[in-house]
Amino acid sequence: MVTITLMGQLQTEDGERDFTCEVPGPLSVKQLIQRQGMTLRPVLQLLREKKVLVTVNKKIASEDSLVNDGDAVRLVGHDGMGGTGLGPSSFY
């Protein structure tokens, strides 16, 4: 089981921030997010725009970093300028 936590200004439309999911084997962070379907789809765009910091087990990671069973992934929203460019309306 992998734990995904949204931090900073990231949250789902329903205000959720914590998710767990089973993984069949090593997956990239990007693949893990894609497997969550519509729930985390907006995160993919934010990753492309470099507006999300990724950590895996408290170590800085990227969308290509591998995730294994038992890992903890944290996605932290930022706008790169120290402002508030990622309000909940930007996420959904």
CATH assignment at residue 62 = 3.10.20.30
What would the pLDDT profile of 8-24 be if each residue is shown by its tens digit?
889 888 889 999 999 99
* Boundaries of domain holding 79: 2-91
The answer to whether the CB of 30 falls within 8 A of the CB of 66 is no
Single-letter amino acid, residue 66: L
Q: Give 49's DSSP letter.
A: T
What would the pLDDT profile of 36-79 be if each residue is shown by its tens digit?
988 888 888 898 888 999 999 999 999 999 999 999 999 999 86
Distance CA 52, CA 11 (A): 12
Domain count, the chain: 1
Report the predicted TM-score, pTM, of the whole model to 2 decimal places.
Answer: 0.83
Q: Hey, is 25 helix, strand or coil? A: coil
Quote the tokens at residue 51.
């507006």
pLDDT of residue 80: 55
